[in-house]
Structure 1
């Protein structure tokens, strides 16, 4: 009898060990990292005339990507935190910004839209509350769960302006399928930032080598 109980205990314990990561993932919620002034990130570009700084913080390691519910790396998506700080006394406008990541090999990457990310991660399963797609448009098919949907909605960089003496931040997601070493030697370009009069600021260029060098030390 004792042997039977011991065997049952071992079976139950082994099952719990297998289920533990799944249970932890189910209980996990995305929490946006605290946005720091852009100049505090290693990879940044400061325009002294306009007093605007643009910074990037790639989430390219397992430790950093642990904040997410969605396993973006498994879908060949690289999350990159974009932070824009405005130290001037006038707002800057962001509604027409165009971000681009250019790798050392010359690959030009633009951020994936929400619809594209939904397509990547919509692998239907029988568990969890589901949000049927197409959502928000009828072009998207499949399903994502509620936590994934809320994360994609909340994580994306969506700021349309940066008020004086403040910062805005959010994630861009780059498709790195078949791209080797997307960060080392890469440069990030941001155009379309405008001052309060509607004039375009000079483009921002952020060398990602500043990040990779800092991360290696």
Structure 2
């Protein structure tokens, strides 16, 4: 019997190599477990945040929005009407757009408003009808409501009322006095007239001479 029969057979192993391998394996396993725990915690937080109720979000939006229910309803109606106008305008052909009356007189539009108001149509319907004929920019709905209110209160005139402005500085007596001075001396100047009428400005005198009396200057002489 040989003395080598009891020797361990197999590949050679370094002393302590197996223990080092086991240590690295345990370290790698702990690192994987720690990573899985962090990933799981992040998923739980994400799940909790994604499960936020819709009611809380709505309440937050209401708290930030300072508009009243009436304002919200009005804006919703305006948005709906704007969408309807856009769709209606998009559905028109080129021929229909050409047939629209452009740049109507203000009194014409007011006459239409008066006629439709006499038929007891609401202001919104009147505005819709005149926009169909004259275009969307002919008159705003607020102005239509104003004219409807005035016609219902008894107004019959569709034209603008005369406004009280600054009285004219040119009177008939002043024009007659300037004309008399000119006929006395046709070689006059505006400066000379200004000396004769110190209370009247040079621009007013020039307006009287050229605009009212129709005098023009020929060879340094003003002739009618």
- Superposition TM-score, scaled by structure 2 size: 0.17
Rg larger in structure: 2
More strand by share: 1
More helix by share: 2
- Superposition TM-score, scaled by structure 1 size: 0.18
Bigger relative contact order, structure 1 or 2, given CA contacts below 8 A and separation 6+? 1
